[in-house]
Amino acid sequence: MVDKIKVEDLSCYYGKKCVLESLNISVVQNEILSIIGPSNSGKTTFLRTLNRMSDLDSIYSRRGDVYLDSASVFDMDMEELRKRIGMLFAMPISFPMSIYENIVYAPKRLGLIFKKSEQDALVEQSLKDAFLWNEVKDRLKSSAMKMSGGQQQRLCIARILAINPEVILFDEPCSGLDPISTARVEESMVELKRKYTIVLVTNNVKQASRVSDRTAFFLMGKIIEIDTTDKLFVSPKKKQTEDYITGRFG
Amino acid sequence: MRKIIDTMIEKVIFLCGMLSVIFVILIFSFLFIESFAFFRGFNIIKFIAGRYWYPDSEPVSFGIFSLLVGSFLVTLGACLIAVPLSVMTALYISEVVSKNVRDILKSLVELMAAIPSVVIGFIGMIVLVPCVRKLFNIPTGLTAFSGSVMLAFMAIPTIVTISEDAIRSVPRQYKEGALALGATKWQTIRRIVLKTARPGIIAAVMLGIGRVIGETMTVMMVTGNSSRIPHSIFEPVRTMTAVIAAEIGETVSGSMHYKALFSIGLVLFLITFIINFAAELFLGKNKNK
C-alpha cells in the first residue's frame, strides 16, 4: 500500500466561500478511489485541485498541501504536473481535428514522440487500451467530432493514455452517456487500474460500487466517511452516508 | 379581418426582404449597362492592362492597370499591418486581460470604428505623411505606405471585434482539455483556440479587407493620387476608388470618361464580390468539416 497522492489539511475557497474544509485523504497506488456526494459538496473542486486546473480560476484560493509521490504539486511545473496527472471531463471534449491528431496532439507538444512510426504505434496502442481501436481503425483520419458521445469519451481516455500519466482523474465521465457506453468506459477503467492510479468523481452511486476499491463520501466540503467500497456500501458507519447511498437525499 | 392583416404584414416583410436583393441587382445591372457601352468603344484588354489613365488628353487612354496596382498595394499593405495586429489584440483581449480591462479595451477598439474616414485621412495628412517623408528620406510622404497605415487603422476595429467574438466562443472545455493534457497556454492558444476560431477570424479579415478596398476618402488624402505604376510602396499611387470620387463630378454625363468610371466601379464591385464569395465558400467548407 503505497500512497500515490497525499492530501494534507487542504481547504479551498471561491472568493470568501469555503468549498473544501481541512481535507485529509490519500490515494493508494493502483486503486480506484471513488468520490460520491450530492452536488455542491466540493467533489469537482477537490479533483481540479489535484492537477491544479482550479488555478485557472481567478477567485480560487487554497490552503494546505497535496503531495504526489511525496513532492508537493504546488511547487511543480504546471505542465509537468498535468502530464503526470491526466484528467477526463464530464463532457467528452474531442478537439476539432481528426481522431489521429487528437491522440498525437499532446505527446507532440510535450516532445514525447518524434518519428511517424512512433506516432502510429502510439495511436494504435492508446486506442486499444481505451477499447476503441476496433471501432475506428479504418477512419483514423476522419474528424473526431463525428463520433458518438461514448466513442468521444473513450477517445479522450485514449488521448490521456497517450501521454502516459501516473494518475487519471475522472470527473463524472459517464454523466452524458447511455448505459452501454457507460459500461464500456467502466470496463476500461477497471482495466486501467493495473497501470494507473484512478480517482473517480461520480454522481452515480451504483457506478462507485461497481468499479472502485475505496469510496469517499463528501458532504458540504467535508469528508463524512471513507472506507473500502464493500464496507461503505454494506455497513456505513455514519447515518448521512447511509441516507445518501440508499437514495434518501441528494 | 385578422387574416387580412396577417397576409398584409407577411407581404410587407417579404417586400422589405426582397428590396435589398432588388437593389443589389439594380446596381449591378446599372454598372453593367454603362460598362458594356464603354467596352463597345474601348477595348476591354486595353482597359484592364493599359498602363496610362489619360482621360482628357488626345488620344484618350483609359488604362486602369496602374490603378489596380495602386489599390492592390495599398490593400495588401493594410492587411499585412492590420491582420497580425488585430488578431493579437483580439487574443490579448479575450485570453489574457481581466474582465474589467477587457470591457474597457473592447469599447475603446469599437470606438475606433466610429472615427469618420475623413478625420483619419486628415490626421494621416498632418501627422503621418511628414513623418514618413522624414523617416524614409523620400521626396514626398504621400505614398502607398501611408495609405496602408491609415487604412490598417480603419480595418483594425472590424477585425478585432469579430475575431474576438470568434475566439471567445471557443468552448472553455477545449482549452481546459488541452491544458489538462499538459499543453502550455501558448500551445493551447495556437493549436486549439486559433484553430477552432479560424473560420470566424477569416470572416473578420475578409470583412476588414472589404472595408479597406472600398475606402475612398482616406486614401485620396494620403496616397498622393499619382496614376503611375509604382516601383515600391514608398511611391505615390492612385486607387480605383479615388479616381471615381475625384473625377465623377467633372465628367460630362454619358461621355466615354463617364462610362469609364462606371467600368472601374464594376471592376471594384466584382473584386469585392469575389472576396465575399471566397470567404463564404471557405466558411461553408469549414462548417461541414
Q: Is the pLDDT of residue A250 over 80?
A: no
If asked whether residues B254 and B228 sit together in one domain, one would say yes
If asked whether residues B18 and B86 sit together in one domain, one would say no
- Non-local (6+) Cβ contacts of A150 within 8 A are A177, A178, A180, A181, A182, A184, A185
The tens digit of pLDDT for each residue in B95-137 reads 888 888 998 999 999 898 888 888 988 999 999 988 888 888 8
Indicate the SS3 state at residue B61.
strand
Residue B47 is assigned to a structural domain of this protein: no
Residue B92 belongs to domain with CATH number: 1.10.3720.10
Q: CA angle A170-A172-A177, nearest 5°?
A: 115
Contact of B144 with B234, CB cutoff 8 Å? yes
Q: Is the pLDDT of residue B287 over 70?
A: no
The tens digit of pLDDT for each residue in B222-254 reads 888 887 888 888 888 888 898 898 888 888 888
CA-to-CA distance for A34 and A54, rounded, in angstroms? 20
pLDDT band at B85 (very low <50, low <70, confident <90, very high): very high
Residue A198 is assigned to a structural domain of this protein: yes
If asked whether residues B63 and B166 sit together in one domain, one would say yes
Contact of A64 with A23, CB cutoff 8 Å? yes
The CA R_g of chain B, rounded to the nearest whole Å, is 23
Nearest Cα neighbor of B222 from B137, B154, B157, B280 is B154
Read off the pLDDT of each residue in A124-138 and give the average, rounded to a whole number.
87
Residue A192 belongs to domain with CATH number: 3.40.50.300
Indicate the SS3 state at residue A23.
strand
Amino acid at B218: T
Map grid coordinates 496596382 to a residue.
B69
Q: What is the mean pLDDT of chain B?
A: 87
Residue from B99, B100, B181, B285 whose CB has the most chain A CBs within 10 Å, to mutate: B181
Contact of A174 with A204, CB cutoff 8 Å? yes
Read off the pLDDT of each residue in B39-47 and give the average, rounded to a whole number.
86
B1 by Cβ neighbours in 10 Å (0-12 / 13-18 / 19+) ranks as exposed
- Confidence at residue B62, expressed as pLDDT on a 0 to 100 scale: 87
Lookup: cell for B76: 495588401
- Confidence at residue B8, expressed as pLDDT on a 0 to 100 scale: 92
If asked whether residues B225 and B281 sit together in one domain, one would say yes
If asked whether residues B85 and B138 sit together in one domain, one would say yes
Q: Where are the alpha helices (DSSP H) in chain A?
A: 43-50, 78-84, 99-110, 116-129, 133-136, 149-162, 179-192, 205-211, 229-234, 239-245
User: Which chain A residue's Cα is nearest to B178?
Assistant: A106
Lookup: cell for B171: 468552448
User: Which chain B residue's Cα is nearest to A51?
Assistant: B180
Q: Say yes or no: ipTM exceeds 0.85.
A: no
For chain B, give the percent of residues with pLDDT over 70.
97
Residue B48 is assigned to a structural domain of this protein: no
Residue B27 is assigned to a structural domain of this protein: yes
- Confidence at residue B285, expressed as pLDDT on a 0 to 100 scale: 60
Residue B26 is assigned to a structural domain of this protein: yes
8 Å CB contact of B182 and A93: no
B176 touches chain A (CB under 8 A): yes
Q: Is the pLDDT of residue B168 over 50?
A: yes
A159 vs B181, B191, B192: nearest CB: B181
If asked whether residues B113 and B30 sit together in one domain, one would say no
Residue A169 is assigned to a structural domain of this protein: yes
If asked whether residues B163 and B76 sit together in one domain, one would say yes
Q: What is the mean pLDDT of chain A?
A: 87
pLDDT band at A215 (very low <50, low <70, confident <90, very high): very high
Residue B46 is assigned to a structural domain of this protein: no
Total domain count for chain A?
1
Residue B188 is assigned to a structural domain of this protein: yes
Q: Is the pLDDT of residue A7 over 60?
A: yes
- Confidence at residue A109, expressed as pLDDT on a 0 to 100 scale: 82
The minimum CA-CA distance between A108 and chain B, rounded to whole Å, is: 10
Q: Look up the domain containing A40 and give its range.
A: 3-245
The minimum CA-CA distance between A242 and chain B, rounded to whole Å, is: 34
CB atoms under 10 Å from CB of B105, counted, come to: 16
Q: Is the pLDDT of residue B283 over 80?
A: no
If asked whether residues B29 and B79 sit together in one domain, one would say no
If asked whether residues B146 and B9 sit together in one domain, one would say no
- Confidence at residue B50, expressed as pLDDT on a 0 to 100 scale: 83
Lookup: cell for B264: 472601374
- Confidence at residue B289, expressed as pLDDT on a 0 to 100 scale: 44
Total domain count for chain B?
2
CA-to-CA distance for B161 and B155, rounded, in angstroms? 10
If asked whether residues B88 and B16 sit together in one domain, one would say no
Question: Of all helices (H) and strands (E), which one includes residue B39?
Answer: helix B2-41
B52 by Cβ neighbours in 10 Å (0-12 / 13-18 / 19+) ranks as middle
Q: Look up the domain containing B36 and give its range.
A: 2-41
Q: Is the pLDDT of residue A164 over 50?
A: yes
Read off the pLDDT of each residue in B145-152 and give the average, rounded to a whole number.
91
Read off the pLDDT of each residue in A197-214 and give the average, rounded to a whole number.
90
The tens digit of pLDDT for each residue in A228-243 reads 988 888 888 888 888 8
The CA R_g of chain A, rounded to the nearest whole Å, is 18
CA-to-CA distance for A200 and A46, rounded, in angstroms? 11
CB atoms under 10 Å from CB of A100, counted, come to: 18
pLDDT band at A95 (very low <50, low <70, confident <90, very high): confident
Read off the pLDDT of each residue in A114-133 and give the average, rounded to a whole number.
86
Tally DSSP H helices, then E strands, for chain A.
10, 10
Give the pTM.
0.76
Contact of A68 with A149, CB cutoff 8 Å? no
Amino acid at A82: R
Residue B49 is assigned to a structural domain of this protein: no
If asked whether residues B34 and B90 sit together in one domain, one would say no
Read off the pLDDT of each residue in A85-93 and give the average, rounded to a whole number.
85
Residue A250 is assigned to a structural domain of this protein: no
Read off the pLDDT of each residue in B28-34 and give the average, rounded to a whole number.
90
Give B196's contacts in chain A (Cβ within 8 Å).
95-96
- Confidence at residue B51, expressed as pLDDT on a 0 to 100 scale: 84
If asked whether residues B28 and B115 sit together in one domain, one would say no
Amino acid at A157: I
Residue B167 is assigned to a structural domain of this protein: yes
